[in-house]
Amino acid sequence: MIEIGSERIQVFDTTLRDGEQAAGNRLTPRQKLEIAHQLNTLNVDVIEAGFPASSPGDLEAVKLIARKIRGPVITGLARAVEKDIDQLWEAVCKAEQNRIHIVLGSSDKHISGKFSSSREAVLQRGVDAVRYAKKLTDQVEYSTEDASRSDFDYLCRVVEEVIKAGATVVNIPDTVGWAVPEEFGPLIHRIKERVPLTDKVILSVHCHNDLGFATSNTMAAIKNGAQQVEVTINGIGERAGNASLEEVVMLLDRRGDYYKRGTNIDISEILTTSKMVSEMMALPVQANKAIVGKNAFAHSSGIHQDGILKETGTYEIIPPKLLGLDKHQIILTARSGKHALKHTYNELGIQLNDRELKQLYPHFLNFADSHKNISHSDLKKLYKSAVDR
């Protein structure tokens, strides 16, 4: 487990819990186990395997993962009620490392709108839940649901009291994607300043993407002292999804000069994990998705292609091999230049001289203007028809 104050960011993967809540999706216990094995290979620190109280199937899945997976902390979600906590403990008690994760709203919208209760009553309910869970395991995480829309003074009281009750991880979620980075980062800083006891626990964040800020808010939180990030593969999850594991991890890897933090994630396993989750959950990854989209390392602009072929660093800040790819893709289109065309023919074993390239290029442009995709077969036919030999 990560040490408090460490420079390493703990990666809490909730693909199997929050990610599985993506509309229209459901995994069997065996499918969950298969993904959990891959998450272990990816080297995540925590696997949130499900919500055991939600269904017998989820209870079975979390139990299975807790028995079979060795290495990461295995947890699941529980509401702040003893029945949920008991079921979660039943599910994770056999894990090599286990954690009970409790969630309870801290905003007035939740306190009055969802619970029809008072701040004091909800605070006491949370404290009681932590104390109860602490009798079962040393690791207890408490999530202040809807923290970004909570009254700051009350939120700090909750954080302080659950730490006193025994919480070892406190999570500050942006549950509905309401926050913007310029306020969410400082929120983490202000909580740490107001509640000195946060130095004795791991401070976590869990950001949703309703306004497109999930990754940005997560990174702002890291910059302001968050030590754990709750993320999903491909950014999947409830509504518009969660902060994307691959984006957060690669930002820390590529921009370590700025964030001065890192993870233990095996970057070479990211694409394999992304493809597995996408296929098993039947949730296609958009082509232009950062890091894992099929176009992430594809170049079609002639200017970009020319730069890449001369020096890869001109238009690629992530070496493809880092992610297990052989190389980038040069996609020939009507925007491609002579350099890219010659390079592609060279890869086909056809060495064009300057005369042949000059003769062939106009024919290529005419063909590309009317064809969306240009195959190797098309290129060979063009060569045979357009070049005088």
For each successive 10 residues of the chain (389 residues), what is the average pLDDT?
68 96 87 98 98 95 98 98 98 98 97 96 98 98 98 98 98 98 98 98 98 98 98 96 98 96 97 96 94 85 78 85 83 83 86 88 86 86 77
Which residues, 6 or more positions from 279, have their beta carbon under 8 angstroms from its beta carbon? none
Q: What is the pLDDT of residue 388?
A: 65
SS3 317: coil
In this structure, which amino acid lies at residue 73?
V
Q: What is the pLDDT of residue 1?
A: 44
CA atoms within 13 A of residue 58's CA, in its CB half-sphere:
21
Q: Where in the chain is the domain with CATH 3.20.20.70?
A: 10-281
Q: What is the pLDDT of residue 324?
A: 86
DSSP state of 8: B
User: What CATH number is given for 10-281 in this structure?
Assistant: 3.20.20.70
Distance separating alpha carbons of residues 218 and 320, to the nearest angstrom: 25
On whether the CB atoms of residues 170 and 144 are closer than 8 A, the answer is yes
Distance separating alpha carbons of residues 3 and 45, to the nearest angstrom: 12
